[in-house]
């Protein structure tokens, strides 16, 4: 039995990575970071998203009946992994993974129309899901008639999006226009300027449509998001290790490359040894999502929690390999450092995820 990627999956991975290396090098990411810092209200780079749509990446999880690719979550995880490796500023987590997974399980005419627009990249949908697993500052959304009231924190991919998908409780799912009256969206300043998160304030916002009894769709959306986020973190770790190895081979000290020193060799080897098991964990979680759905919740919790912990250690070690220059803005390592730091809290902290995994296994009942 082959436990690796299929030929088509390897081709998908190679094609996307080649595109990102050519069109979204770190200099482009830096320029985009600076643009977002100067004009945070502008949000998403539509030109880059359109190019990804041409490659079929925006519709990877959209069924073929709605003009998408109809691929598996493992394929989407490979896309997320490549985007994390390039620290690309895209709304893929929300608009490419979470929104399609939620919408495709609803099987309503409204959802099918949204899926077609998502597949072509013409429409971008943000997701406000934080209150499903953590509530702070009295946040939370409620429905009064056909209007939404309340506050949502850390909405993903919402700034510059066309619409927002709002879980209301655990059984209703509403779609609202990003420019709807009564909706105020404020971009949140996080350490990762390439990742768009925002706070939503809803004061009688009219819904475009509402799905009731959508609990399974909401749960699947959250699971898919956690697995894709773990893959993004894994890709960022791959990049930090690659940059550390390259730096150790190029930087000389006492007349020889620092990579020839045993201490530096051990640091690089330990990063690789720590990261490699995460690959299997993330890929298996993505496999379970489609093939073994009963195992998917537990695997999603473990993949994101363990990946976040490993990523923190790799980010620290990679910086140590670079020495003092690793802390400077010019070196660029901090782009990945900040990426994994932000990912660590987007869809649940490692502590809360492990608590969730324990509850799924009835530990400590």
Burial of 151 (0-12, 13-18, 19+ CB in 10 A): middle
The string over 179-194, giving b where at least 16 C-beta atoms fall within 10 Å of a residue's C-beta and e elsewhere, is ebeebebebeebebbb
**CA–CA separation, 191 vs 342, rounded Å?**
7
Same domain, 137 and 194: yes
Q: Which residue has the tokens 């009064």?
A: 144
Strands 147-156 and 163-168, by their bridges, are unpaired
Q: What's the pLDDT at 194?
A: 86
pLDDT band at 126 (very low <50, low <70, confident <90, very high): very high
Same domain, 45 and 14: yes
* CB-based contact 100:92 (threshold 8 Å): no
Q: Assign residue 45 a region: left if phi > 0, alpha if psi is -120 to 50, beta otherwise? A: beta
Give me 330's structure tokens.
Answer: 């010019």
CATH assignment of the domain containing 96:
1.10.540.10
Give the three-state DSSP class for 185: strand
Q: Please, which residues have CB within 8 angstroms of residue 161's CB and are 6 or more apart in sequence?
A: 43, 44, 91, 94, 95, 124, 125, 126, 178
Q: Which residue has the tokens 């550390």?
A: 244
pLDDT band at 2 (very low <50, low <70, confident <90, very high): low
Q: What is the mean pLDDT of residues 318-334?
A: 87
**CA–CA separation, 347 vs 309, rounded Å?**
14
Q: Is residue 339 part of a domain?
A: yes
Q: What's the pLDDT at 365?
A: 58
Closest CA to 238 of 266, 272, 191, 269: 272
**CA–CA separation, 242 vs 239, rounded Å?**
5
pLDDT band at 93 (very low <50, low <70, confident <90, very high): very high
Question: Which whole-number Å values give the CA distances from 342 to 43, 127, 292, 311, 312, in the listed order?
Answer: 17, 16, 29, 11, 11
**CA–CA separation, 188 vs 342, rounded Å?**
12
Same domain, 226 and 199: no
Q: What's the pLDDT at 229?
A: 97
Q: Assign residue 257 a region: left if phi > 0, alpha if psi is -120 to 50, beta otherwise? A: beta
Neighbouring C-alpha atoms within 13 Å toward the C-beta of 355:
7
The string over 41-73, giving b where at least 16 C-beta atoms fall within 10 Å of a residue's C-beta and e elsewhere, is eebbbeebbebbbeebbbbbbbbeebebbbbbb
Q: What's the pLDDT at 1?
A: 46
Q: Is residue 231 part of a domain?
A: yes
User: Domain boundary residue among 124, 159, 184?
Assistant: 124
Lowest-confidence pick of 41-45, 114-118, 188-192, 258-262: 41-45
User: Domain boundary residue among 60, 91, 124?
Assistant: 124
User: Domain boundary residue among 73, 106, 124?
Assistant: 124
Strand partners, 203: 149
Q: Is residue 11 part of a domain?
A: yes
Domains identified in the chain, total number? 3
Same domain, 208 and 225: no
Give me 272's structure tokens.
Answer: 């690789």
CA torsion angle for 268, 269, 270, 273 (degrees, to 10)? 130
Q: What's the pLDDT at 44?
A: 77
> pLDDT for 282-311, tens place per residue?
999 999 999 999 999 999 999 999 999 999
Q: Is residue 1 part of a domain?
A: no
Same domain, 131 and 193: yes
């Amino acid at each position: 039995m082959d436990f690796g990627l299929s030929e088509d999956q390897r081709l998908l991975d190679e094609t996307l990575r080649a595109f990102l290396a050519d069109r979204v090098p770190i200099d482009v990411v830096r320029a985009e970071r600076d643009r977002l810092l100067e004009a945070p209200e502008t949000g998403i780079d539509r030109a880059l998203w359109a190019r990804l749509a041409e490659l079929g990446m925006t519709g990877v999880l959209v069924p073929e009946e709605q003009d998408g690719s109809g691929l598996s979550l493992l394929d989407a995880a490979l896309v997320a992994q490549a985007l994390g490796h390039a620290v690309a500023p895209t709304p893929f987590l929300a608009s490419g993974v979470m929104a399609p997974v939620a919408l495709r399980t609803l099987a309503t005419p409204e959802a099918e129309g949204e899926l077609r627009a998502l597949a072509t990249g013409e429409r971008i949908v943000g997701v406000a899901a934080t209150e499903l697993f953590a509530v702070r500052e009295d946040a939370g959304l409620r429905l009064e008639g056909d209007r939404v009231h309340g506050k949502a924190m850390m909405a993903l991919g919402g700034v510059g999006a066309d619409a927002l998908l709002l879980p209301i409780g655990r059984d209703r799912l509403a779609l609202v226009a990003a420019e709807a009256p009564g909706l105020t969206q404020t971009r949140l300043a996080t350490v990762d300027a390439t990742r768009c998160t925002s706070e939503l304030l809803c004061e009688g916002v009219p819904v475009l449509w509402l799905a009731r009894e959508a609990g399974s769709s909401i749960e699947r959306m959250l699971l898919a998001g956690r697995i894709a986020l773990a893959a993004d973190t894994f890709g960022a770790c791959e990049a930090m290790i690659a940059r550390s190895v390259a730096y150790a081979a190029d930087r000389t000290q006492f007349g020889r490359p620092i990579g020839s020193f045993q201490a530096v060799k051990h640091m690089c080897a330990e990063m690789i040894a720590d990261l490699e098991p995460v690959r299997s964990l993330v890929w298996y979680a993505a496999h379970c999502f489609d093939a073994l759905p009963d195992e998917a919740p537990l695997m999603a919790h473990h993949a994101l929690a363990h990946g976040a912990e490993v990523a923190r250690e790799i980010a620290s070690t990679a910086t140590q390999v670079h020495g003092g220059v690793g802390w400077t803005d010019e070196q660029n390592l901090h782009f990945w450092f900040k990426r994994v730091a932000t990912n660590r809290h987007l869809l649940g902290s490692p502590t809360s995820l492990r608590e969730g995994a324990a509850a799924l296994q009835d530990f400590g009942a």
